[in-house]
């Protein structure tokens, strides 16, 4: 996008365009490294599809129970190859990442088991799932599941002393949240997760390690499941859906665990053998095919936002030099009004519902009011350009997505003019 295009089509001021150009000049080397990662992940996905002998008939679908649905089985075979696991559960009736996580945790735990989060307090909606907040029916604590939590040291390192002291026979599941979520910490890199998995497995090989992989897929050339995580869980309207999957979630991992989770999804004795795909096989697989490119452009956009807002003096998380492991760029405004104005600027830059004016509201599953800007083709799609935030101090916006870099650049320009 040239200066003339921004000026001519959107009336962006020359001062704003100069800020964007300065930021881009600083980021060229980083953009090149992002493209190298994109190429590896793109080839990995193509290879998985070829090795699975994907063909056009797999886009057909059954009716009724969905017995022997060729598309469903092929999707799950490909996901297992991409994430290097024994098995996978990838279904359009998994409605969100939170649903996928609840399904996983409820499928692998029983009364008296303990889940221990070792990456601090998890994402807001998971607190309701566990039963730490609210009193929603069927939360895990209400079913006799215990919960422990260990904070990260200085918001970035696993506390191995506390983990080792707490890791007894009662701990059934270790839970790691890769992404920053709505916290002030950086996302956990694959190298940190790898070291943690190795140390835990040396102490107790039978402890199940589940990684909430939301927002982190394809940022690096490996995934937590490549290094011993028993389960990785995520949403198809985030990174792996590539902005094309209409809905759904995935759970990849050890076959015996996936079988237990599948029996929770459907019914005991039925498991993975049924479940209609409603014709979503093509969208799910084409989204996976496009995911590395969408993730690469969204990370370039996150860096651009980080660079221009850092120049304006705002605190950003992660910093520009930090190793990134999710698509989220946090910008701390310290002001409710600026936070709301920023999110409204993101909405103005969106291709869908650009005329809407997002306002904070009491969103189900959250303890604070939340503002969400998302003018997406897929409702709630976090790989498309979006920004959201709980309305609480320090009033940080969590920007993510942007399946084309041009869209990210436009959004950066419009939000800058809203803020300045």
Q: What is the pLDDT of residues 230-242, one digit of tens each?
A: 999 999 999 999 9
Shared domain for 84 and 188, answered yes or no, is: yes
CA atoms within 13 A on the CB side of 413: 28
Tell me whether residue 52 is in a domain: no
DSSP string, 9-42: HH---HHHHHHHHHHHHHHHHHHHHHHHHHHHHH
> Considering 252, 268, 287, which residue would you say is the last residue of a domain?
287
CA distance 390 to 367: 9
Mean pLDDT value across the chain = 95
E strand map for 107-154: 114-117, 146-149
Tell me whether residue 48 is in a domain: no
Cis before 394 (ω within 30): yes
> Considering 269, 287, 305, which residue would you say is the last residue of a domain?
287
Shared domain for 208 and 252, answered yes or no, is: yes
Shared domain for 149 and 82, answered yes or no, is: yes
Locate tokens 């005329």: which residue? 355
**Which 3 state secondary structure label does DSSP give 227?**
helix
- What's the token pair of residue 390? 């709980």
> Considering 253, 287, 321, which residue would you say is the last residue of a domain?
287
- Strand-pair category, 146-149 with 114-117: parallel
CB neighbours of residue 25 within 10 Å = 9
Shared domain for 283 and 331, answered yes or no, is: no
Tell me whether residue 33 is in a domain: yes
Shared domain for 239 and 365, answered yes or no, is: no
What percentage of residues in the chain have a pLDDT greater than 70? Answer: 99
Shared domain for 322 and 351, answered yes or no, is: yes
For residues 299, 322, 217, 162, the Cα torsion angle rounded to the nearest 10 degrees is: -150
- pTM for the whole structure: 0.95
Shared domain for 74 and 180, answered yes or no, is: yes
Tell me whether residue 50 is in a domain: no
pLDDT of residue 1: 43
pLDDT tens, position by position, for the chain (420 residues)?
445 788 889 999 999 999 999 999 999 999 999 999 999 999 999 999 999 999 999 999 889 999 989 899 999 999 999 999 999 999 999 999 999 999 999 999 999 999 999 999 998 889 999 999 888 899 999 999 999 999 999 989 999 999 999 998 889 999 999 999 888 899 999 999 999 999 999 999 999 999 999 999 999 999 999 999 999 999 999 999 999 999 999 999 999 999 999 999 999 999 999 999 999 999 999 999 999 999 999 999 999 999 999 999 999 999 999 999 999 999 999 999 999 999 999 999 999 999 999 999 887 777 789 999 999 999 989 999 999 999 999 999 999 999 999 999 999 999 999 888
Shared domain for 307 and 362, answered yes or no, is: yes
pLDDT of residue 367: 76
Tell me whether residue 54 is in a domain: no
CA distance 208 to 110: 13
Tell me whether residue 53 is in a domain: no
Shared domain for 305 and 250, answered yes or no, is: no
Q: In what order do the strands lie in the sheet with 249-253?
A: 87-91, 249-253, 231-235, 208-212, 171-177, 114-117, 146-149
CA distance 240 to 34: 17
CA distance 328 to 252: 23
CA distance 44 to 295: 15
What does the pLDDT look like over 326-364, one tens digit per residue? 999 999 999 999 999 999 999 999 999 999 999 998 877
Q: Residue 11 sits in which domain range?
A: 3-43+292-419
Q: How many domains does the chain divide into?
A: 2
**Which 3 state secondary structure label does DSSP give 132?**
coil
Tell me whether residue 10 is in a domain: yes
Give me the CATH number covering residue 379: 3.90.1150.60
Give me the CATH number covering residue 153: 3.40.640.10
Shared domain for 271 and 132, answered yes or no, is: yes
pLDDT of residue 135: 86
pLDDT of residue 182: 81
Shared domain for 216 and 83, answered yes or no, is: yes
E strand map for 296-355: 315-317, 329-332
CA distance 310 to 277: 45
Shared domain for 139 and 194, answered yes or no, is: yes
Contacts of 18 (CB under 8 A, 6+ apart): none
Tell me whether residue 283 is in a domain: yes
């Amino acid at each position: 996008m040239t200066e003339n295009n921004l000026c001519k089509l959107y009336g962006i001021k020359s001062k704003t365009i100069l800020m964007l150009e300065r930021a881009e000049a600083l980021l060229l080397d980083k953009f090149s490294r992002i493209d190298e990662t994109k190429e590896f992940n793109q080839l990995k996905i193509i290879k998985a599809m070829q090795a699975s002998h994907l063909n056009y008939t797999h886009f057909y679908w059954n009716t009724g129970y969905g017995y022997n649905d060729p598309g469903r089985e092929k999707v799950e075979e490909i996901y297992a190859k991409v994430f290097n696991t024994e098995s996978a559960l990838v279904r359009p009736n998994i409605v969100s990442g939170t649903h996928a996580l609840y399904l996983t945790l409820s499928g692998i735990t029983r009364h008296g088991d303990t889940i221990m989060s070792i990456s601090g307090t998890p994402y807001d909606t998971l607190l309701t799932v566990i039963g730490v907040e609210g009193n929603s029916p069927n939360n895990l604590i209400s079913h006799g599941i215990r919960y422990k939590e260990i904070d990260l040291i200085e918001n970035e390192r696993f506390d191995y002393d506390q983990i080792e002291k707490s890791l007894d026979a009662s701990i059934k599941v270790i839970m790691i949240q890769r992404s920053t979520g709505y916290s002030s910490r950086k996302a956990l890199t694959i190298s940190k997760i790898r070291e943690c998995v190795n140390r835990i497995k040396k102490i107790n090989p039978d402890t199940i390690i589940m990684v909430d992989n939301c927002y982190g897929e394809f940022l690096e050339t490996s995934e937590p499941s490549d290094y011993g995580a028993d389960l990785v869980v995520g949403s198809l309207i985030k990174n792996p859906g590539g902005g094309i999957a209409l809905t759904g979630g995935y759970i990849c991992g050890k076959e015996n665990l996936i079988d237990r989770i599948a029996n929770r999804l459907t019914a005991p004795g039925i498991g993975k053998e049924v479940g209609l795909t409603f014709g979503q096989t093509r969208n799910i697989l084409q989204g996976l095919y496009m995911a590395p490119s969408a993730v690469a452009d969204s990370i370039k956009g996150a860096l651009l936002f980080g660079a221009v807002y850092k120049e304006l003096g705002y605190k950003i998380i992660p910093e520009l030099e930090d190793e990134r492991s999710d698509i989220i760029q946090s910008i701390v405004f310290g002001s409710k009004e600026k936070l709301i104005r920023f999110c409204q600027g993101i909405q103005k830059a969106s291709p869908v519902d650009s005329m809407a004016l997002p306002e904070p509201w009491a969103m189900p599953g959250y303890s604070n009011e939340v503002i969400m800007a998302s003018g997406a083709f897929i409702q709630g799609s976090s790989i498309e350009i979006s920004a959201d935030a709980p309305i609480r101090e320090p009033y940080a916006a969590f920007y993510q997505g942007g399946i084309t870099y041009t869209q990210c650049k436009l959004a950066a320009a419009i939000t800058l003019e809203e803020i300045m």
